[in-house]
Amino acid sequence: MRYAADSLAHLRKHRSAVWISTGAVAFALVLLPFVLSSVGTAWVRITNLAILFAILSLGLNVVVGFAGLLDLGYIAFYGVGAYCYALLASPHFGLHLPFWIILPLGAGLACIFGILLGAPTLKLRGDYLAIVTLGFGEIVRIFLNNLSQPVNITNGPQGVTLIDPFKIDGLVFNRTDTLLGLTFTGPMKYYYLLLLLLIGVMLVNVRLQDSRLGRAWVAIREDELAAQAMGINTRNVKLLAFAMGASFGGIAGGMFSAMQGFISPESFVLTESINVLAMVVLGGMGNVWGVVAGALLLSFVPEVLRYIVAPVQEAVFGRVIIDPEIIRMLLFGLALVLMMLYRPAGLWPSRTRKREFDEALHE
Amino acid sequence: MDIFLQQVVNGLTLGSVYAIVALGYTMVYGIVQLINFAHGEVVMIGAMVALSVIGALAGAFPGVPAAVIVLSGTACAVVVCMAVGYTMERVAYRPLRGAPRLAPLITAIGISIILQHSALLVWSRNPLSFPQIVRNPVVILAGATISAVQIVIILVSVAMMAGLTALVYRTRLGVAMRATSENPTVAGLMGVNINRVIASTFVIGAALAAVAGVMVGTYYGIAHYTMGALLGLKAFSAAVLGGIGNLAGAMLGGILLGIVEALGAGYIGELTDLCRIAWISDGLTARCAVDHHFVLFGSNYQDVFAFLVLIAVLIFRPSGLLGERVGDRA
């Protein structure tokens, strides 16, 4: 408590400094795509995907970080949102609904899936839940892969192509526009859109964390029995965590569809679920800033590795001996293990979470 | 009828493999309350090592009987897998004993990623075919084709289950294992070396997994670096179906799951053929007159059954068919 009061006083004293630094960061974020596209448009796309994954990790953070329910099939909700957008805005069914109908619809559908998954499984112990969610993720993927027969719904492994881009009136997001003498390419426009969305999702997360609901989640995570005794309706509160996490996933999925213009079941495999989970774990479960940082880190490092590993091998051995992708995954697995052994609460842990881990280890 | 019998035989074969893998899950869970997520990958490593050794031996000593070669390949796989199992426990799980449950589960995921991609590095991305050095005669019994490999798999599984049961209920190590699973602290006070007991549980589970890997590899004739994940998941479902921590449960669960899966794959196409109910609509009748089958779900949904069984068990009977046996660790 005293710490909070101190920091508040500290903040008041330096209010102008806070405003200035916030302004500087905002300015840098606005300029970033111009800098990146001078290096190469590919980097803007990579950044966009990184932001998308940050949104996704924030969604998973609600389930894993706040409520402490390990969900290994989270990518399924992303897939549901993505397919919802793709099927309703592509030549596949000849439907071209506007985004402001489909995105909420996708979020809602993902939410329903979340409840469908949550309702029967929430009584389970944490590790059972992990396996059931994993199985659920696989089921969704198998269906996406096979629902092309006898009635072609998902178009099977080929996926859905020619998905409509984002459109607001005349502003089409995959075209290049010129405004005030500046050229805005498609990926750059998506960058600003995703950035806004990320800020929105972060705000929701931060507010959730301090809300009555957020405290209920933490209470359940720490001790479910005690939480129940304090009058928390644990079933409903856990279901809410699942539903909210899932709807964030659904929105991110819709954005992914619109941005890529093409999706296939390949993008919604178990590895991706684990990838998102690793982002949450690496950054620090339950800490919004940590999770975002973890997502950005895990999105950029592999890309950088890709640019470094192959040339270095060529320089040293004369040819590429080890596929960069394998190195990436090996490092990834190693990072998960080492993190849990040496910094179990994450690189930027939330304070309560850190205490929890420390106590458990010193018992 | 012959489809039925055939699928039951196939299910029994696959089910015995599931049972052997499920035993590994259930033993570890019974003692340390941890889902050894990487157990499926140990099966894969077993299959890969055996494949390489058998291939190399068959090439180097063409005169040696096939059975000897297969046995030595299996032995190598068992040794390698035991080493993997021990290292895994020592490095990734032991330091986290007593940490929140999420922590060892995440290291387990990390370990399985490492194992999978090391295998990818060593054995390449392509499915490798198992060397066909053993003759595989078939018997036709009441319309069902039963191959020698299937019979061997079932017999070996039964023998291993019997051996494991004897180990757990008849030896000192078994007593120590049961004591540790009931209450590790008290077992420790009674002079049981808990660390050694837990490590040997992992090692025994890994040895079983290695044999399972060889069996599944010979059965399908193929091994791939991703084969472990799904197999592990199904075996875990089997363990839960029987009641986790319960050895007899894992065996029963594995065999039941194998049969359910085989029968499901065999009949789902027929059951969801809409032409059987073509009378409900004229459009459907017209379509079925041209094409006699309008199958909603084909046998490519085979993998869904294990998960459906898992979810159903967890909803209706979370402690499994034979009841779970897990010591309380408040």
Span A254-299, pLDDT tens digits: 999 988 888 888 888 888 888 888 888 888 777 888 899 989 988 8
DSSP class per residue in B130-198: PP--S---EEEETTEEEEHHHHHHHHHHHHHHHHHHHHHHHSHHHHHHHHHHH-HHHHHHTT--HHHHH
More confident residue, A73 or B132: A73
Contacts of B111 in chain A (CB under 8 A): 333, 337
Q: Which of the residues in chain B have pLDDT under 50?
A: 328-330
Could you tell me if B107 lies within 8 Å of chain A, comparing CB atoms? yes
Task: Give the mean pLDDT of chain B.
Answer: 86
Q: Is the pLDDT of residue A362 over 60?
A: no
Of residues B116, B120, B236, nearest to A131 (C-beta): B236
The predicted-structure confidence for A16-62, as pLDDT tens digits, reads as follows 777 888 888 888 887 787 777 777 778 888 899 999 999 999 999 99
* SS3 (DSSP) at B291: coil
Contacts of A109 (CB under 8 A, 6+ apart): A80, A81, A84, A250
Contact in structure between B180 and B111 (CB atoms under 8 Å): no
Could you tell me if A359 lies within 8 Å of chain B, comparing CB atoms? no
ipTM of the complex: 0.81
Amino acid of residue B75: A
Task: Give the mean pLDDT of chain A.
Answer: 82
Residues 260 to 279 of A: which have CB under 8 A from any B CB? 270, 274, 277
Query: Each residue of A183-195: b (16+ CB within 10 Å) or e?
Result: ebbbbbbbbebbb
Instruction: Quote the pLDDT of residue A6.
Output: 65
The predicted-structure confidence for A188-215, as pLDDT tens digits, reads as follows 888 888 999 999 999 999 898 889 999 9
Contact in structure between A267 and A81 (CB atoms under 8 Å): no
H/E segment holding residue A179: strand A177-179
Instruction: Quote the pLDDT of residue A363.
Output: 47
More confident residue, B93 or A183: B93
Candidates A357, A207, A215, A198; CA nearest to A284 is A357
Instruction: Quote the pLDDT of residue B330.
Output: 33
Instruction: Quote the pLDDT of residue B328.
Output: 45
Q: Is the pLDDT of residue A126 over 70?
A: no
Amino acid of residue A33: P
C-alpha–C-alpha distance, residues B55 and B49, integer Å: 10
Residues 86 to 115 of A: which have CB under 8 A from any B CB? none
pTM: 0.82
Q: Can you name the residues that pair with A183 across neighbouring β-strands?
A: A178
Please indicate whether, in this complex, the C-beta atoms of A281 and B106 are within 8 angstroms of each other: yes
Residues 186 to 205 of A: which have CB under 8 A from any B CB? none
Could you tell me if B151 lies within 8 Å of chain A, comparing CB atoms? no
DSSP class per residue in A202-231: HHHHHHHHTSHHHHHHHHHHH-HHHHHHTT
The predicted-structure confidence for A301-359, as pLDDT tens digits, reads as follows 878 877 777 777 777 777 777 777 788 788 888 888 888 888 877 777 766 666 666 66
Instruction: Quote the pLDDT of residue A246.
Output: 92
In A125-169 the beta strands, taken as DSSP E runs, fall at 167-168
Of residues A123, A143, A363, nearest to B98 (C-beta): A363
Instruction: Quote the pLDDT of residue B78.
Output: 96
C-alpha–C-alpha distance, residues B33 and A92, integer Å: 48
Angstrom distances, CA of residue A232 to CA of A54, A67, A155, A214, A237: 30, 13, 44, 12, 8
Residue A150: asked if its preceding bond is cis (omega within 30°), the reply is yes
Long-range contacts of B254-257 (CB under 8 A, 24+ apart): B254/B15, B254/B16, B254/B17, B254/B18, B254/B19, B254/B20, B254/B21, B254/B22, B254/B23, B255/B11, B255/B12, B255/B15, B255/B16, B255/B18, B255/B19, B256/B15, B256/B321, B257/B15, B257/B18, B257/B306, B257/B309
Instruction: Quote the pLDDT of residue A51.
Output: 93
Of residues A68, A150, A270, nearest to B295 (C-beta): A150
For residue A262, count other CB atoms closer than 10 A to its CB: 14
